[in-house]
A and B are shown apart, each in its own frame.
Chain A
Amino acid sequence: MLEVSNLNKNFDGVTALKNFSFEMKEKEILGMIGPNGAGKTTFFNALSGFIKPESGKVKFLGKDITSFSSHKIVSSGISRTFQDLRLIRQIPVIDNILLSFNHSDGENFYNILFKQKSWQETEELDKHKALKLLEYAGIKDKAFDLANDLSYGQQKLLSITCCLAADAKLLLLDEPIAGINPEMREKILRIISELPSKGKSAIIIEHDMDFIERISDRVIFMDMGEKISEGTPDEVRNDPKVIEAYLE
C-alpha cells in the first residue's frame, strides 16, 4: 500500500532523513520509535506534503505522491496529527469535524448565494455523521462546546477523530498519547487498535515503549535520519544496534 524509497532531507547540513525506505501493507499498525531528533516527525512532514524531500519517492496505493501538495495527499487518503496539538480552538468541536469532511457543497460561491437550502441540507447530514464520529470517540456530549474547552486529552482525541473524518486510509499519528491521563490513553488505544477492522492503517510515533508494543504489528527504529532496525516489537527491542543507539 505504502512504498517509501530512499527519502533524503537535510536542514542546513543536518541530516534529517538519509536513504529512508520501507514498505507497508494494508491494515497494518506501524510503530516508529527513536531518540529525539531522529527524523521521525520530519518523515511525517515529508509524507504529508509539508516539506519536500530532496530526493526519493513515495508511492501510495499505486500512485506516486512525492510531489503532491498537502491537500492532494489528504484526498489520496493520508491524514495526520501533530505533536504540538493542532485544532481550531475558537470554533465548536463539531465544526472541527465538519471542516475535516472533504465536501464542498457549501463552499461553492454559487451555492452560497443561490442554493442555501441545498447546502444546508448537506450540512445537516454532515452534522449527523459528525455526531456519530464524536459518539464513537466518546466526546459527543461536548460536540457544541468550543474545542478550547476540552481537556488536553480530549483535544488529542478530537484531532484523531478529525483524521477519521477526513476519511484517511492511512493515519499518521505523532505522539498520540504524550502527556495525557491513563483513562484517555485507553480510549485512544482502543480507537487505534480498531483501525484495521475499518480497513485503515496507521503509523504511530511514540516514546512510550509499552504502548508501542501493545499496539504495533511492526516497529521501525530510527536514528540520525536512518532506519536502524525493523521488525516485530520484540525483535527491535533486542536488536544490538538499537541497544547501542540508546546507550550512546
Chain B
Amino acid sequence: MEYLLHILILICIYVILSLSLNLLVGYTGILSIAHAAFYGVGAYVAALMALRLETPFLLNIILAVSAAGVFGAVVGIPSLRLKDDYFVIATFAFQIIMFSVLNNLVEFTGGPLGLPGIPQPNIFGYEISTHIEFLILSLLLTGLVYWVSNRIVKSPFGRLLKSIREDEVFVKAVGRDISGAKVKVFIISASLASLAGVIYATYITYIDPTSFTVMESIFIISIVIIGGAANLKGSILGAAFLVALPELLRFIGLPNSIAANVRQILYGALLVIMMMWRPQGFLGEYAFGKSSEDRRQKLEDRSKRGNDA
C-alpha cells in the first residue's frame, strides 16, 4: 500500500513539473531544458530554510516560489531575446551552471553529499509525516497548479501565448509585446515548478544535486511531448504513464542487472516512436518539433491551393 502511495506522490510531483513546462513548451512553443534547475531551486530553498532557519513550511513554499520566479526573470529576460535553438542552448547553460553551483557550494548546499534530515512539513502545528498525508498535500498543490495553468490557458493571455507559438511576426505586427509575454510565462512556469521541488525535498527528506540534472529536464520534456503538448490533461496522463511504466516493468521479472538498461531503451524507443507517428502526443493539439514557420507555410499553401482561383 505504501508503495502505491509513494508512486502516486511521485506522479503528483511530475504532474506539477510537466504542467508548468507545458505552459512554455506546449502553449508558447519555446523549449527550455532548464526546468529541473527551477525544480532544484524550489527543493533547495525549502530545504535550507527549514534546516538552517527553521521557518514554517507555508512560508518556505512562498519563499521557494518567489526564488524560482526571481531566477526565472534573471534567466528569462536576457535569454528570451534569443531565437529557437539559441534559446535552448542558453537554458542548457543555466541548467549546467545551477548543477555546478549546487555541487560545489559545499558549505551552503552540502555539495555532492546533499542535505540530509530535512524536516517534514508542519502546517499550523499539524505534522505531515505519513504517506497518505503527503499524498493529500501533493494532490492539493497539484490541484493548485492545474487550476492556475487552466485559468491561464483559457484566458486572453493564453490566446496570446498560442498566437506567439504560431506566428510571432503577425503578433508583433498587431502590436503585442512578445518578449514581455514570454518573460511573464517563463517566470510563471519556473515558479510553479518550484512547488514540485518543495514536495520532493520535504517528502524524501534528503536532496542532492543529482536529482536536478539535465537528464531530469529531458525526462520532464518527454512527459510533456508524449502526454501531449498544449494539453493540460495530456501532461497528467503523460506523467502517470512515464512514472508508472518502470514500476510496471518490475513485475515482468527481469533480472535487476538488466532492468535499468531495458528501461532506458524503452524510454528512448517510445520517444522516437511518438515523434514519428504521433508528434502531437497522446492528447496534444500541437505537433512539437516542426517550426512554426514550417507549419505556417504548409497551411498557407493549402489555403492557396484550396480555394479562390
Q: Which residues of A contact B (CB under 8 A)?
A: 48, 50, 70-71, 73-75, 79-82, 84-91, 95, 98-100, 102, 105-109, 112-113, 116, 119, 123, 148, 150-153, 155, 162-163, 165-166, 179-181, 184
- Cβ-defined contact, B307 with A152, below 8 A: yes
- Cβ-defined contact, A87 with B167, below 8 A: yes
- Additional A-B contacts beyond A70-B172, A74-B174, A91-B162 (14; CB < 8 A): A48-B173, A50-B172, A74-B175, A82-B173, A86-B170, A88-B170, A88-B171, A89-B296, A89-B303, A95-B159, A98-B156, A107-B155, A109-B157, A151-B306
- Cβ-defined contact, A151 with B308, below 8 A: yes
Closest B residue by C-beta to A75: B175
- Cβ-defined contact, A90 with B166, below 8 A: yes
Q: How many residues of B contact A (CB 8 A)?
A: 35
Query: Within 8 Å of chain A (Cβ to Cβ): is B269?
Result: no
- Cβ-defined contact, B175 with A148, below 8 A: no
Flag B202-225 by CB within 8 Å of A: 1 or 0 each. Answer: 000000000000000000000000
Residues of B within 8 A of A119 (CB): 155-156
Given A71-B175, A86-B173: A150 in contact with B157 (beta carbons within 8 A): no
Residues of A within 8 A of B155 (CB): 106-107, 112, 116, 119
Question: Roughly how many angstroms separate A91 CA and B307 CA in the complex, as a whole number?
Answer: 19
Residues of B within 8 A of A100 (CB): 174-175
* Among candidates A74, A89, A98, A184, residue contacting B159 with C-beta atoms closer than 8 Å: A98
Residues of A within 8 A of B178 (CB): 71
Q: What is the interface of chain A mostly: helix, strand, loop, or mixed? A: helix
Residues of B within 8 A of A153 (CB): 308
Closest A residue by C-beta to B169: A86
Q: How far is the CB of B128 from chain A (nearest CB, A)?
A: 26
Residues of A within 8 A of B309 (CB): 181
- Cβ-defined contact, B173 with A79, below 8 A: yes
Query: Within 8 Å of chain A (Cβ to Cβ): is B250?
Result: no
- Cβ-defined contact, A148 with B188, below 8 A: no
Q: How far is the CB of A43 from chain B (nearest CB, A)?
A: 15
Query: Within 8 Å of chain A (Cβ to Cβ): is B54?
Result: no
Q: What is the interface of chain B mostly: helix, strand, loop, or mixed? A: helix
Closest A residue by C-beta to B307: A151
- Cβ-defined contact, B173 with A80, below 8 A: yes
Residues of B within 8 A of A155 (CB): 303
- Cβ-defined contact, B303 with A150, below 8 A: yes
- Cβ-defined contact, A89 with B151, below 8 A: no
- Cβ-defined contact, B167 with A70, below 8 A: no
Closest B residue by C-beta to A180: B308
Residues of B within 8 A of A75 (CB): 175
5 A-B pairs in the complex with CB atoms less than 8 angstroms apart:
A70-B172, A89-B299, A91-B166, A99-B163, A107-B155
Residues of B within 8 A of A148 (CB): 299, 302-303
Within 8 A of A (CB), among B287-309: 296, 299-300, 302-304, 306-309
Question: Roughly how many angstroms separate A163 CA and B174 CA in the complex, as a whole number?
Answer: 7
Closest B residue by C-beta to A112: B155
Q: How far is the CB of B293 from chain A (nearest CB, A)?
A: 11
Residue in A73, A106, A112, A162 with the greatest tally of chain B CB atoms within 10 Å: A112
* Among candidates B151, B169, B176, B303, residue contacting A99 with C-beta atoms closer than 8 Å: B176
- Cβ-defined contact, B296 with A152, below 8 A: no
Residue in B159, B162, B173, B300 with the greatest tally of chain A CB atoms within 10 Å: B173
Q: How far is the CB of B284 from chain A (nearest CB, A)?
A: 13
* Among candidates A82, A116, A150, A162, residue contacting B151 with C-beta atoms closer than 8 Å: A116
Residues of B within 8 A of A71 (CB): 172, 175-178
Within 8 A of A (CB), among B91-109: none
Question: Roughly how many angstroms separate A88 CA and B174 CA in the complex, as a whole number?
Answer: 11
Q: How far is the CB of B214 from chain A (nearest CB, A)?
A: 29
Residues of A within 8 A of B175 (CB): 70-71, 73-75, 79, 100, 102, 166
* Among candidates B157, B159, B172, B304, residue contacting A152 with C-beta atoms closer than 8 Å: B304
Residues of B within 8 A of A80 (CB): 173
Question: Roughly how many angstroms separate A91 CA and B164 CA in the complex, as a whole number?
Answer: 12
Query: Within 8 Å of chain A (Cβ to Cβ): is B152?
Result: yes
Residues of A within 8 A of B148 (CB): 113
Question: Roughly how many angstroms separate A123 CA and B159 CA in the complex, as a whole number?
Answer: 12
Query: Within 8 Å of chain A (Cβ to Cβ): is B160?
Result: yes
Question: Roughly how many angstroms separate A163 CA and B173 CA in the complex, as a whole number?
Answer: 9
Q: Which 7 A-B pairs have the closest CB atoms?
A: A74-B175, A106-B156, A86-B170, A151-B307, A100-B174, A107-B157, A152-B308
